[in-house]
Structure 1
Amino acid sequence: MRAIRQPHAVTTPTAVRNLGILAHVDAGKTTLTERILFATGTVHKRGEVHDGTTVTDFDPQERDRGITIFAAAVSCAWSGHRVNLIDTPGHVDFADEVERSLRVLDGAVAVFDAVAGVEPQSESVWRQADRHGVPRIAFVNKLDRAGADLDAAVASIRERLGALPLVVQLPIGREEGFTGVVDLLAMRSLLWHPDSDTYERGPVPESLRQEADRRRRALEEAVAALHADALDEFCATSALTERTLVRALRELTLSGDAVVVLCGSAYRNRGIEPLLDAVVAYLPSPADMPAVRGTTDGAEQERAPDPAEPFAALAFKVSVTASGRLTYVRVYSGTLRKGDRVRDPATGRTERVGRIVRVQADRHEEQEEAVAGDIVAVVGLKGARAGTTLCAPEAPVVLEPPSVAEPVVSVAVEARRATDTGRLSAALARLVEEDPSLVVRSDAETGQTVLSGMGELHLEVAVEKIRRGHGVEVAVGRPQVSYRETVVTGVTGLIHRHVKQDGGAGQFAHVVLDVEPLDEPGFEFRSTVVGGRVPQEYARAVEAGCRDALEEGPLGGYPVTGLRVTLTDGATHSKDSSELAFRTAGRFALREALRASTMALLEPVVEVTATVPEEGVGGVLGDLAARRGRVSGSTAHAGTAVITAAVPLAEFFGYASRLRGRTQGRGTFTTRPAPLAPVPPAAADALLGR
């Protein structure tokens, strides 16, 4: 068979699949996306990451660095369905791009390296998908590589991710000899020709018949143990039909009780068509998803994925291109047509939709309308940002926006030429508009402009974008990390009275607070006041004041986290008490309580996984120790060692060049965020100037 261009897919919600491609760096996400576009006839030439010719890695920096930096949306058609696909970044510094994408996706394909199995960032994006309840299927890639082992990769999915993998294919051949798969549902072979883009269906090879029968039986037993209808059929006939298996696998995928696993080699174009069939068969359509929940004037509302419902959509990405400002939206209900007016209920602003385009990475296809369940880009909206709800003016609703992680690294930036200061400000404003995980502020003490982001690479990319996209030469200061302060030992019964008389209406608030540490980052507030001594609205004002006080801690002015505040008592005045008075009292009371508490400094930490030649292990371990790294594991295999360590982010800058130097360029590493950790006393004293 030969892959041919698919007919234009029906755009009803049941015929749409919105999915993301999730994986660790270099697991093959972008190559897989490229092969999907080729198999569906969307492109007629296969691009390669190493040549910088892929559709989704179209940004110059992505092509230079050979990694995905920005989530890229593409659309294609397969088997009468429209597939809206987002190729997400795999590097930890761009996890916020993944977060925003997962907020609007219905399903995902998780890609794993057949040699490495579950890698650190694979686990991180898997947990992100868990939080969003996104159903997944798994694709074990690179089966043509030396050392590829499907069973080992599947075992790592089970052990490291806590998932229940259900393998529906058996590889034909190993490593360089990998030529196809056995479909364990239809019990047939799929063989790809080495010198063409065609494949053939056939019987199961005799050499694999016994193994295929064994795996099919194991699959039937596993499905029967999880699915009631399948169990009834299995008890009655001692077997499951292909139809029953497909239906059960779909329901288990949607419920998250199991993960269907397929395999192949994206680079060699093997296994793509069965994967697309699995996307259509197992992953949900928008019609399978529950109605989206939102609020209107504080009252909860639901909007079903129905084109006839009032229009509601969520903007999840903004991109400024040569052709205009693109706002990427997921339409949850209703129908959006070119020329319609849409409202941002948060601001009350109404804007007109100039154009609707279906995005193919950096290419666009004009559309007259978009219906519930679709993902498109809109041209003409000036006020929308990532997280903005767009709705019909006559039916307002506010949808929950994607969460935005707090930046952990900051650098001072300034224009090298004084005449470029204005252009730098405009460039920074556009960066923040496109990427909400970047924060720009002015340092009150130094007057410097500070750019904060999710990591060193994240900031490097942002600065380079200013240079290339805006022609502004930028001077960059040494990176600084975002420390936090926390409570080690709190205080009980701290009393604070706020009394103010200035000739008019006075202010009176009396509060009693307990402060204690929490076992995790964050802030928790509760009130145990009885007898109405502090009304509920005043208790909420005390909480707001406490949150104000968390912005600057007593040690070094860093934000405070990891504490619980309990309002235990208080008093009011019949005339002078107000929400403002109690908010002020809460702010000053907590500041006083923090000064009386035992406080500690916390620092961001990264978990580093370094792969190095055995002869370089000593030097790498010594370098990690010099960076205050704590080694948690080391394994050796085939002349290489894999070292895992937790390293303070403040000590991690410049690690890439140091690792290359100590391993003659053969060492590689990946990182992922780890929980905040206390700063050792000596380092804390130096940091705080004590």
Structure 2
Amino acid sequence: MNSNNRQLRNIGVIAHVDAGKTTTTERILFYTGENHRMGEVHDGTTRMDYDPQERRRGITINSAAITVHWQGTQINLIDTPGHIDFNIEVNRSLRVLDGAVVVFDGVAGVEPQTETNWRLADKYGVPRIAFINKLDRVGADFLRVVAMMEERLGATVLPLQLPIGAEGEFRGVVDLLTQQALVWDRDDASEPVRVTAVPADMADAVGRHRARLIDSVVEQDEQALNAYLNGEPLDAALLKRCIRRGVLSGAFVPALAGSAFKNRGVEPLLDAVVDYLPSPEDILRAEGQPASDPQGPFAALAFKVAAEGHGAMVFVRVYRGRLRRGDSVLDANTGRIERVARLYEVHADDHVELDELQAGDIAAIVGLKETLTGHTLCDPAHPLHLEEISVPEPVIDVAVEPRTREDAQGLSKALQTLLREDPSLRMRHDAESGQTILSGMGELQLEVSIEKLRSRHGVEVQVGRPQVAYRETLGRVVEVHHVHKKQTGGPGQFAEVRLRFEPLARGEGLRFDSQVVGGAIPREFIPAVEAGIRRAAETGVVRGFPSVDFQATLVDGSFHERDSSAMAFELAAAAAAREAFAKADPKLLEPVMAVEVVTPAEYLGDCIGDLHRRRGIVRGQQLRGQAVVIDAQVPLKEMFGYIGSLRALSSGRAQYTMQFDHYEVAPQKVTAELVRS
């Protein structure tokens, strides 16, 4: 596995659900020779969606990795889900990838999940190229999607091709660099592309777009800029060098055209991956050093854990050094030394055993006992922490109970496996009902997780109706004083704390600070105070939901030489926190979703009226082809059963997508209903 410059690409394929991302990936596998038979989503025969649930539902649930080769370059490819419920898969993949192919539907253009994924790629600084797909569909328009990308994503988009023919007549592309036409005469993937002259009726458009392309890219290279200013001709190799520099710096995003389903445009897309997306050595750290260093002490980030029959398989991206089978590594997050039993190159559901990994590689390790998503693995003699992976807050709860006593024994273990695999799932025990509550990003994610309990772990469960995952917060500043004192036959317990609690802005989480001076409380007991507050915050006082968005400050306290302990201070802090939550005018917070409704114009008024009845705020509307897009924010509580209402309102013609936006203080009426229930 060679990670020399320009010979390795670590890329992801990301898109909104149904943009054709998995079909594009399947075509890449076919053209690179990884697959000899073409997989189709609608037939349930795809290589990347190999999970039985993915094949049955026709969607990607798990990010799948595969290694292919094109023009002498190894490409480690990750196909990610498009559905918002599985956004953690995109998040953790983008954290470790060097580049991305973003697939756009040529009719719908920029859709909500594309926008979310684009922002994630911005956050992680991932260079990307755009593949505008489905150009054979009625209503597809390449240049309209380019304009939409610039407007909605704030990107500078650089078309490298123009489509030949539109909708049903789409048959090829003009390459603006070489000024040649690439034509696929048949849908058959085994039919080679035909290189020919630019159609006469496209000559003017090609000239205009090529001139704009050259204007945009020559600034990336001094030699090219001088040649351009002196009126000298610029060859394709020089222009490619300029484009590569612009992509790596984030100056622009190249756009390519095609129809993956009809096998048109996939080979030029692969060429663009090799020509323009970075190798591991092209990615620089903040201090200007390459992020990938084959010579340094070993360091890697675990970005996914998959439960296998023979133990957990931990997917890693290696940033530094080498790792051999049998090596011991430090998990910097747990402080444990873990032993590497086996190393694998991953080909979707097939695995090829390796002797060694080196910087730049994406592969899987078997043998790690406690490593989780986001943990850093490193040389025990050179510990370090790599930036972790941010995990979104769950917004939907469901109660799960075992059907039988035998199921009860397996349920806890099966749930722990699910939580290890998917960090966006959370689990807690409801003290009032005694139920186990599983929380997630959406109904589909929870449905898939429950199905895994049954199909993979053989555990039958009874499932409650999905409920909103509310939170609680403080309404005002309070200060509390608590003394924990217990005298029994043996050593006593003593801890005195004075704490101030104050509300924070939405999304700030829980912060802790200590202002104790002069040794009033020994330093070693202060972490126990924070631990007690965090434990108390797991169940609020309004209705038992976790308390968030507040700061707790340890102002003062005292201890006893013999009777004080970390446990005493943790108990004192937990009791003080519960008292503070009750006194601080607690508020219920409800999740508010960003909702996008796409409807024919004749149903616009009815759809807006229905959103208002659901306490929704309509933030805007715009035309998209023949349809109108409504952008709204609606409390999640009001969105249960929405799909049925929307179909009834629009004779089945409108559709919607939604994703979590923020938490907001719930109206008194909602709080009162919950307290009564």
Q: Secondary structure at the match of 1:290?
A: coil
Report the AA paired with residue 282 of structure 2: D
Gaps of 5+ in 2: none
Change in 2 beyond 3 A, CA 1:150/1:551: same
Question: 1 CA distance for matches of 2:434 and 2:499?
Answer: 38
Q: 2:87 aligns with which of 84, 95, 118?
A: 95
Using the TM superposition, name which of 661-670 and 92-101 deviates more. Answer: 661-670
Shift in Å, 1:583: 6.8
Change in 2 beyond 3 A, CA 1:585/1:94: same
Aligned-residue RMSD, C-alpha: 3.4
Change in 2 beyond 3 A, CA 1:650/1:336: same
Change in 2 beyond 3 A, CA 1:586/1:242: farther
Report the AA paired with residue 43 of structure 2: D
Q: 1:384 aligns with which of 357, 361, 371?
A: 371
1:685 matched to which residue of 2? 672
Q: Secondary structure at the match of 1:215?
A: helix
Change in 2 beyond 3 A, CA 1:463/1:221: same
2:433 matched to which residue of 1? 446
Shift in Å, 1:88: 0.5
Correspondence 1:135 to 2:127: yes
- CA deviation profile, 1:348-367 (whole Å, cap 9, x unmatched): 54444343222221122233
Report the AA paired with residue 359 of structure 1: V
- CA deviation profile, 1:561-620 (whole Å, cap 9, x unmatched): 3345567x6577897999888777766665555444444321112222233445555654
2:231 matched to which residue of 1? 237
- CA deviation profile, 1:514-535 (whole Å, cap 9, x unmatched): 7254265434556789999999
Shift in Å, 1:114: 1.5
1:250 matched to which residue of 2? 244
Using the TM superposition, name which of 26-35 and 462-471 deviates more. Answer: 462-471
Gaps of 5+ in 1: 1-8, 294-301
Report the AA paired with residue 425 of structure 1: S
1:284 matched to which residue of 2? 278
2:314 matched to which residue of 1? 327
Report the AA paired with residue 650 of structure 1: K
Correspondence 1:676 to 2:663: yes
- CA deviation profile, 1:367-393 (whole Å, cap 9, x unmatched): 332221111122343433323333345
Shift in Å, 1:99: 1.3
Report the AA paired with residue 222 of structure 1: S
Checking the alignment, whether the CA contact within 8 Å between 1:25 and 1:91 is kept in structure 2 is yes
1:5 matched to which residue of 2? none
1:74 matched to which residue of 2? 66
Question: 1 CA distance for matches of 2:576 and 2:587?
Answer: 19
Change in 2 beyond 3 A, CA 1:217/1:291: closer
> Superposition pairs for residues 8-23 of structure 1, below 5 Å?
10-12=2-4, 14-23=6-15
Change in 2 beyond 3 A, CA 1:485/1:501: closer
Change in 2 beyond 3 A, CA 1:574/1:600: closer
Q: 1:611 aligns with which of 584, 592, 598?
A: 598
Change in 2 beyond 3 A, CA 1:14/1:311: farther
Q: 1:212 aligns with which of 206, 210, 228?
A: 206
Report the AA paired with residue 347 of structure 2: Q
Question: 1 CA distance for matches of 2:553 and 2:372?
Answer: 36
- Alignment length, in residue pairs? 671
Shift in Å, 1:251: 2.0
1:85 matched to which residue of 2? 77
Question: 1 CA distance for matches of 2:515 and 2:226?
Answer: 53
Shift in Å, 1:126: 0.9
2:34 matched to which residue of 1? 42
Shift in Å, 1:129: 1.4
1:405 matched to which residue of 2? 392
Correspondence 1:373 to 2:360: yes
- CA deviation profile, 1:87-107 (whole Å, cap 9, x unmatched): 101111001111111121111
2:108 matched to which residue of 1? 116
- CA deviation profile, 1:208-240 (whole Å, cap 9, x unmatched): 222111111112222345666654443343775
Correspondence 1:642 to 2:634: no
- CA deviation profile, 1:89-138 (whole Å, cap 9, x unmatched): 11110011111111211111111112111110101111111111211111
Report the AA paired with residue 459 of structure 2: V
2:163 matched to which residue of 1? 171
Shift in Å, 1:32: 0.7
1:159 matched to which residue of 2? 151
Identity of matched residues, %:
50
Change in 2 beyond 3 A, CA 1:520/1:35: same
Q: Secondary structure at the match of 2:456?
A: helix
Checking the alignment, whether the CA contact within 8 Å between 1:420 and 1:472 is kept in structure 2 is yes
Change in 2 beyond 3 A, CA 1:121/1:138: same
Q: 1:269 aligns with which of 263, 266, 272?
A: 263
1:296 matched to which residue of 2? none
Q: Secondary structure at the match of 1:399?
A: coil
Using the TM superposition, name which of 522-531 and 248-257 deviates more. Answer: 522-531
Q: Secondary structure at the match of 1:364?
A: strand
Using the TM superposition, name which of 617-626 and 315-324 deviates more. Answer: 617-626
Question: 2 CA distance for matches of 1:124 and 1:341?
Answer: 38
Correspondence 1:461 to 2:455: no
Question: 2 CA distance for matches of 1:20 and 1:336?
Answer: 24
1:307 matched to which residue of 2? 294
Correspondence 1:104 to 2:91: no
Change in 2 beyond 3 A, CA 1:253/1:119: same
1:353 matched to which residue of 2? 340
Shift in Å, 1:56: 0.6
Checking the alignment, whether the CA contact within 8 Å between 1:12 and 1:371 is kept in structure 2 is no
Q: 1:202 aligns with which of 196, 199, 204?
A: 196
- CA deviation profile, 1:31-82 (whole Å, cap 9, x unmatched): 1101111111111121111111111111111111111111011110011111
1:470 matched to which residue of 2? 457
Change in 2 beyond 3 A, CA 1:635/1:57: same
Checking the alignment, whether the CA contact within 8 Å between 1:490 and 1:516 is kept in structure 2 is yes
Question: 2 CA distance for matches of 1:97 and 1:647?
Answer: 25
Correspondence 1:602 to 2:589: yes
Using the TM superposition, name which of 596-605 and 129-138 deviates more. Answer: 596-605
1:627 matched to which residue of 2? 614
Question: 1 CA distance for matches of 2:266 and 2:586?
Answer: 55
Report the AA paired with residue 209 of structure 2: R
> Superposition pairs for residues 530-609 of structure 1, below 5 Å?
547-564=534-551, 570=556, 593-609=580-596
1:3 matched to which residue of 2? none
Using the TM superposition, name which of 203-212 and 393-402 deviates more. Answer: 393-402
Report the AA paired with residue 261 of structure 1: A
Shift in Å, 1:261: 1.6
Change in 2 beyond 3 A, CA 1:413/1:13: farther
Report the AA paired with residue 548 of structure 2: T
Report the AA paired with residue 82 of structure 1: Q
